[in-house]
Amino acid sequence: MSYQKPRTQHDYKDLAWSLLPLVLICLVIAGIASQCSFSAKGPTQGQIPHFDVKAALTDDARLMSFPIRLPVLPDSGPDKWTPNSGSHDVLTGTGGGNASTVGYITPQGTYMQLTQSNASVDALAKKYAANLTATGTEQRGNQKWSVFTEPGSEPAWIADFGDARVLIKGAGNGPAFNTLATAVAQAQPLPRG
């Protein structure tokens, strides 16, 4: 018969020894899943997923009932913008509609969202900038953008193109917003199928 200590005599050392196998199992699983790495340099940016933004927005232009624009952004060199994601959404309620969203990683490594929609400016603001306050406007070319900000939150810009509304939002700096806003304003709507 083996000897077991009474529960009242267990201490932190016993707790540590009982948790050690669980910690080792978690590390093995994380290592197998390639989600865990150890580096003395600190965190590094992972590989950006490949996303064909041209094909996605061309498809959206055929499927959506409003014009879709493909902004021309630098796609090589130190100023490269890398598309990394896309999605669709339906905005419900007053002024709602359909939305096409694509995401980019800026040259500085921050994420920027581009959403195009037939929803109203108010509906876009309610959905994507709900906790932000309208703080002014920015003019880029012939296009006026309403700016929504709140300390500690990512800003959003929304423009009414007449036939569609466009929202840009993200963690990018001022030049990133300028680049994306200018590129969208200069883009012609894609052909509709």
Contact criterion met (CB below 8 Å) for 75 and 99: no
Cα 152 from Cα 140, distance rounded (Å)? 25
In angstroms, the first-to-last Cα distance of the chain is: 80
- Nearest CA to 72 among 173, 168, 188? 188
pLDDT at 169: 97
Cα 3 from Cα 169, distance rounded (Å)? 64
pLDDT at 23: 81
pLDDT at 1: 62
pLDDT at 145: 96
Q: What would the DSSP string read from start to end of 134-173?
A: EEEEEEETTEEEEEEE-TTS--EEEEE-SS-EEEEEES--
State both tokens at 92.
Answer: 């419900």
pLDDT in tens, the chain (193 residues): 667 767 666 677 777 777 788 888 877 777 676 655 555 555 556 677 889 999 999 999 999 999 999 999 998 889 999 999 999 999 999 999 999 999 999 999 999 999 999 999 999 999 999 999 999 999 988 899 999 999 999 999 999 999 999 999 999 999 999 999 999 999 999 998 6
Contact criterion met (CB below 8 Å) for 142 and 185: yes
Following CA atoms 149, 71, 55, 47 in sequence, which dihedral angle do they give, to the nearest 10 degrees?
A: -60
pLDDT at 82: 95
- What is the pTM (predicted TM-score) of this model? 0.75
Pairing of strands 133-140, 111-117: unpaired
Other Cβ atoms closer than 10 A to 163:
9
Which letter does DSSP use for residue 112 in this model? E
Domains of the chain: 53-186 (3.40.1000)
Strand order in the sheet with 156-160: 82-91, 97-105, 111-117, 165-170, 156-160, 143-149, 133-140
pLDDT at 47: 76
